[in-house]
Structure 1
């Protein structure tokens, strides 16, 4: 049995909201701040990885 890799989304801001993106099947909305040093953050609920556009390809 294999587990699919979490989704990675490229964003333009350093503060984003994540709600799982599946309506009623998602999770509570959380606000996440991307690190200015690493350029990414992972959602603690769905493990989606958000990468700032300036760090795309470097993470």
Structure 2
């Protein structure tokens, strides 16, 4: 059984929230702060990656 890769969202705020996006099937809403030096943060529940638009293209290299 294969799993799909976690979603990546480009955002224009350094403060984001995530609830899994599945309504009742999602997860508790969490509020995340994107660090300026990295430009991205991952949700601890669903592994969705939030990348600030100013760091788009650079965030993938730093995650490895």
**Both structures adopt the same fold (TM-score exceeding 0.5):** yes
Unaligned runs of 5+ in 1: none
Length-normalised TM-score, structure 1: 0.94
RMSD of aligned alpha carbons: 0.8
Q: Which structure: greater helix fraction?
A: 2
Number of residue pairs matched by the alignment: 59
Q: Which runs of 5+ in 2 are unaligned?
A: 60-64
4+ long deviations beyond 2 Å: none
Q: If the length of structure 2 is used for normalisation, what is the TM-score?
A: 0.87
